[in-house]
């Protein structure tokens, strides 16, 4: 099946499903009583993203985007650190990547298969392609902007050698 023949993500997934997956992940991974709230707030000036690719009948990525400070707070919450312990940059990237990884794994499970999940990547979010191949939930965590985007692949999304076959 070619990319052109594949159904866009909007035909396969709705924001409510993404939210329900986030509802399961936040209390177990981020911490008791924590929630991803699907109410948008002003986007931060500077952002960082973590994402995993999905390769199969639908090709694309699941991207988690927030301010660097929010990523740091997420890592502290995931790791349950208490002062004076501080998380380093590696922990922040690791924690944000794992959140994207678990989101991606659960979203993959509701998409047509068989498909495979790539390893988490961190940086500037990949460019989005067709408008109808994007499912985005703009929300917040502890009042800070957080966005989950499930977006179809563009050519730049799949650098060679990043996927691990399953």
Partner 1 sequence: MKILVTDDSRVMRQIVIRTLRQAGYDDHDIVEAVDGRDAFEKVGSEKPDLVLSDWNMPEMSGIECLEALRAAGSQVAFGFVTSEGSPEMREKAANAGALFLIAKPFNEDTFKDALDGVIA
Closest CA to 95 of 80, 107, 84, 106: 80
29 is a contact residue toward partner 1 (CB under 8 A): yes
Q: How far is the CB of 136 from partner 1 (least distance, A)?
A: 21
Find the binding residues for partner 1 in span 127-146 (CB under 8 A).
none
DSSP states of 73-122 as a string? HHHHHHHT--TT----HHHHHHHHHHHHHHHHHHHHTTSSSS-EEBPPEE
Q: Is 106 exposed, middle or buried (0-12, 13-18, 19+ CB in 10 A)?
A: middle
109 is a contact residue toward partner 1 (CB under 8 A): yes
122 is a contact residue toward partner 1 (CB under 8 A): no
The correct pick among 8, 38, 98, 138 for binding partner 1 (CB under 8 A) is 98
| Residues lying near partner 1 in the complex (CB under 8 A) | 24-25, 28-29, 75, 78-80, 90-91, 94-95, 97-98, 101-102, 104-106, 108-109, 113-114, 117, 119-120, 164-166
């Amino acid at each position: 099946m070619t990319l052109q023949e594949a159904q866009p993500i909007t035909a396969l997934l709705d924001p409510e499903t993404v939210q329900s997956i986030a509802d399961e992940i936040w209390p177990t991974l981020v911490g008791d009583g924590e929630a991803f709230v699907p109410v948008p707030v002003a986007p931060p000036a500077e952002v960082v993203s973590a994402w995993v690719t999905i390769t199969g009948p639908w090709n694309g990525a699941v991207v988690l985007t927030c301010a660097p400070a929010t990523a740091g707070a997420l890592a502290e919450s995931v790791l349950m650190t208490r002062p004076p312990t501080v998380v380093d940059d590696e922990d922040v990237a690791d924690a944000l990547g794992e959140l994207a990884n678990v989101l991606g794994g659960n979203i993959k499970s509701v998409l047509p298969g068989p498909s495979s999940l790539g390893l988490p990547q961190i940086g500037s979010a990949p460019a989005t392609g067709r408008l109808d191949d994007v499912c985005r939930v703009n929300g917040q965590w502890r009042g800070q902007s957080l966005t989950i985007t499930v977006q179809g692949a563009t050519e730049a999304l799949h650098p060679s050698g990043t996927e691990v076959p399953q």
